[in-house]
Structure 1
């Protein structure tokens, strides 16, 4: 599967690559506010990020860097990975790393474009995601873009010292 460059009104979505290796990206991965609900993060080095980016490039997955169109500034990443060929579905994930760009609707704009691409061009039948119940902003975003709760796994993990529920959500290609 080939990840191609896409765009929206305000964003460029570029295939994530070694071109995105930067100290700024490393800072995102070490910023608790950014990685609080991610599966990875904290104690990142430039070398670890370089290794990660190489691995992602080799996988040939649907993984984009989110850039502002007007400045080409890299502000986050979005992916659909893994793709399950048996049930024709993909797993959604997003990270908005640049906190100065939070709250401006970029996550929604990028998500709608990527989901539309995956339904219309890749022909996925559904997209799923997992989110922790106290990640309220993410839950609001996912509901706004049409995801619905599929299941709740109670007491599924500890995030920031609190026991949390994990929510599985789904968006089907209508």
Structure 2
């Protein structure tokens, strides 16, 4: 799957070091549900168990230098309903703000709609994650609701927006 700036490829166990580094970077994980820290071996093992229908995880690779810069995932895909949830993050901070997340979003959504024949793709975003919300809106996602006080950071509780996208809304 190739976009304008990125290409998506299956994650390999050798990618575990990059994911482990990103997953332990407080700035990268600021607005994500990061759970508990896991050892590198557990990250590597989880990569071996990915990529089946309903749980597609891809590495986001910058085409200009072939660097793995992030991860995008269509999860909980159900062929019966044609719906899936999307997660994305760009872990390499030097690539933030360069259009890579937008391109990765468009590319994975096209794949979801065209190849997986999805009817709808949904995601959630913490209300304070303004950069991510701009990306999602640029791609065509529309706010559908709000979940109250679901993520705690620095002693404060934050809400999430629930957003959705249908094939004819993709920009």
Q: Name the TM-score, length of structure 2 as normaliser.
A: 0.89
What pairs up with 1:97-136 in 2 under 5 angstroms? 97-136=91-130
Q: Following the alignment from structure 1 to structure 2, what is the Cα–Cα distance between the partners of residues 15 and 54? A: 11
Q: Following the alignment from structure 2 to structure 1, what is the Cα–Cα distance between the partners of residues 147 and 60? A: 31
Deviation at 1:40, TM superposition (A): 2.1
Deviation at 1:118, TM superposition (A): 1.1
Most deviating of 25-34 and 59-68 = 59-68
Q: Which residue of 1 aligns with 2:3?
A: 8
What pairs up with 1:36-51 in 2 under 5 angstroms? 36-40=30-34, 43-51=37-45
Structure 1: runs of 5+ lacking an equivalent: 1-5
Root-mean-square deviation (Å) = 1.8
| SS of equivalent to 2:134 | helix
What pairs up with 1:13-162 in 2 under 5 angstroms? 13-22=8-17, 24-40=18-34, 43-57=37-51, 61-162=55-156
Q: Which residue of 2 aligns with 1:3?
A: none
Q: Following the alignment from structure 1 to structure 2, what is the Cα–Cα distance between the partners of residues 70 and 137? A: 23
Deviation at 1:58, TM superposition (A): 6.4
Q: Following the alignment from structure 2 to structure 1, what is the Cα–Cα distance between the partners of residues 9 and 54? A: 13
Q: Following the alignment from structure 1 to structure 2, what is the Cα–Cα distance between the partners of residues 71 and 124? A: 32
Q: How many residues align?
A: 168
Deviation at 1:78, TM superposition (A): 0.4
Instruction: After superposition, give the CA deviation of every residue in 1:2-55 in whole Å (9 maximum; x if it has no partner).
Output: xxxx11222121012213222x33211110011122222663432121122122
Cα 1:74–1:101 change in 2 (3 A) is same
Q: Following the alignment from structure 1 to structure 2, what is the Cα–Cα distance between the partners of residues 142 and 58? A: 25
Q: Name the TM-score, length of structure 1 as normaliser.
A: 0.88
